[in-house]
């Protein structure tokens, strides 16, 4: 039977969703959101849809090769009244870091500049930065849902009201390729 029901989604920059979807990156960096409760990010769901957002993305926060990708994303035609979901993610592991050398060791594993990564680390310095390793899947059926005001704002988690077909997911990376990348990140942090 097809599993169709409302889902939770994690809002993330569209350029980051693209990097996750291509297998270029398997990690997220999170510490908090502007409108999070207590401004702290929490992993409250270990499986979620990826909700690509277009606000707050700045080319200067990305490494040079990804700046063009961002310009293409921002200039592409898209319907502002709907959200397209085509990716689903599962948390593989969460690693908390608190010091500069750890963030520097991750440079080769993400699309962001040093300044962005260090800024994430140093914002609220008493709170560790969460490095979230995620396994990303393509959904067989892309689904567009109407944008509603409840989805607006700078929060991380959103309950997607329309049902989304979650059957026939395909990992963007093979088991072996994902494990290699995850182990490289953990080795860099050790």
Question: pLDDT at position 41, please?
Answer: 63
- State pLDDT tens for residues 64-88: 888 887 777 767 777 777 788 899 9
> Which contacts (CB < 8 Å, 24+ apart) does range 66-71 have?
66/15, 66/19, 66/111, 69/15, 69/18, 70/15
Question: pLDDT at position 185, please?
Answer: 96
Q: Which residue, 86, 115, 94, 113, is CA-closest to 7?
A: 86
User: Structure pTM?
Assistant: 0.85
Is the pLDDT assigned to residue 35 strictly greater than 80? no
**Mean pLDDT, all residues of the chain:** 82
CB atoms within 10 A of CB 154: 13
Most confident of 21-25, 55-59, 68-72: 21-25
Question: pLDDT at position 89, please?
Answer: 93
Domains of the chain: which residue ranges?
4-189
- State pLDDT tens for residues 135-171: 999 998 888 787 776 767 777 777 776 667 777 889 9
Is the pLDDT assigned to residue 30 strictly greater than 90? no
**What is the pLDDT confidence band of residue 174, given thresholds at 50, 70 and 90?**
very high
């Amino acid at each position: 039977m097809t599993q169709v029901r409302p889902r939770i989604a994690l809002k993330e920059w569209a350029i980051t969703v693209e990097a996750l979807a291509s297998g270029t990156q398997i990690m997220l960096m999170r510490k908090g959101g502007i409108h999070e409760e207590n401004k702290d990010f929490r992993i409250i769901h270990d499986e979620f849809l990826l909700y690509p957002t277009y606000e707050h993305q700045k080319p200067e926060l990305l490494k040079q090769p990804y700046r063009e990708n961002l310009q293409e994303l921002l200039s592409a035609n898209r319907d502002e009244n709907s959200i397209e979901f085509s990716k689903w993610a599962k948390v593989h592991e969460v690693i908390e870091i608190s010091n500069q050398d750890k963030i520097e060791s991750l440079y080769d594993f993400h699309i962001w500049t040093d300044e962005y990564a260090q800024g994430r680390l140093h914002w609220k310095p008493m709170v560790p930065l969460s490095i979230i390793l995620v396994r990303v899947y393509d959904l067989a059926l892309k689904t567009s849902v109407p944008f509603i005001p409840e989805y607006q704002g700078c929060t991380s988690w959103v309950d997607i009201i329309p049902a989304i077909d979650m059957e026939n997911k395909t990992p963007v990376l093979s088991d072996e390729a994902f494990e290699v990348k995850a182990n490289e990140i953990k080795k860099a942090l050790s």
